[in-house]
Amino acid sequence: MKWIYNLSKILLLGTFVMFANSCEEQWDLKDGGSLEAQVYPPTSVNFVRGETENVTVNFKPFVNPGKTILSVSVYKKLETSLGMSAEVLTEEVSGDTFTQTKEELFADVPVNGEVLDENDLGPGDAWKLRYVMKMGDGKELNVTTMTTVPFTCVSDLGGEYDGVTNWIEYYGNPGTDSYSTTLAAVGGGEYTLEDLSGGMEPIVWGNPPVEATIKDICGKITLVKADYFYAYFITEGRVEADGTIYIKWRNAYDENGETWLTPQ
């Protein structure tokens, strides 16, 4: 049985050598050699319209003994509903972090030949960042993790407003009303509007106001619901730069109007 004991020792020794080698020469990201180094950037960093002035990515590098990361090449592209930019080498980073200002994020990734800004973007648009490490021995190693920088908006329209509505009623007669109203936040960028008709239904027809739920998506106002005797629609809606809300509406009888809500 001695040969079995010796064979066991050989197998155990072989396993130990393989384990030791695996600690020193792990998975190579490019060609199956050693994992000389790696960086671990975040998978997502938000860009918030009106709030974000720069975006920073921390690489969190790991380097095996005797190895050196000379730099990290950052490749960037911008994907939008208007189209997609080409991927460009946007920066060679020699430190542990990559930072670009709002202007730099847009500058080198034009879409359809035009450099965009945050007013051109909407939900679903995003920058994509890809990384390549340049090692001290001349090797270039691809980084497995990419970073997405999605464009988002924060909605904060709840509060008191001075309203003005101009309308055309069923018989073609114009009317107007000035009033105070409240937008009550219900979450997710949605708000309760006290009267979508802006006073027309109560003033002209003696009907109840048209209570509605509207939604703000990056400054675009849409109708979620308006439970009324007949259908109401928002055909156009937006938030102006000064915070004024503009709503163009109509109903099933083709009565229509325009409403301006100015924050108090």
Distance CA 143, CA 140 (A): 10
Confidence of residue 31 (pLDDT cuts 50, 70, 90): very low
pLDDT at 188: 84
Tokens coding 225 = 């619901």
Confidence of residue 35 (pLDDT cuts 50, 70, 90): low
CA atoms 40, 131, 105, 87: torsion sign: negative
Mean model confidence pLDDT for the chain: 88
**Model confidence pLDDT, tens digit, residues 41-86:** 999 999 998 889 999 999 999 888 888 999 999 999 999 999 999 9
- Count of residues making up the chain: 264
**Model confidence pLDDT, tens digit, residues 148-180:** 999 988 899 999 999 999 999 999 999 999 999
pLDDT at 16: 40
pLDDT at 66: 86
pLDDT at 1: 37
Backbone angles phi, psi at 91, to 5 degrees: -165, 145
pLDDT at 17: 38
Distance CA 16, CA 216 (A): 62
- Distance of CA 72 to CAs 4, 37, 100, 147, Å? 52, 11, 15, 14
Residue 243 has pLDDT above 50, yes or no: yes
pTM of structure: 0.67
Residue 227 has pLDDT above 80, yes or no: yes
pLDDT at 179: 98
Residue 24 has pLDDT above 60, yes or no: no
- Distance of CA 249 to CAs 125, 211, 226, 234, Å? 28, 13, 12, 4
SS3 content of the chain, % helix, strand, coil (to 5): 15, 45, 40
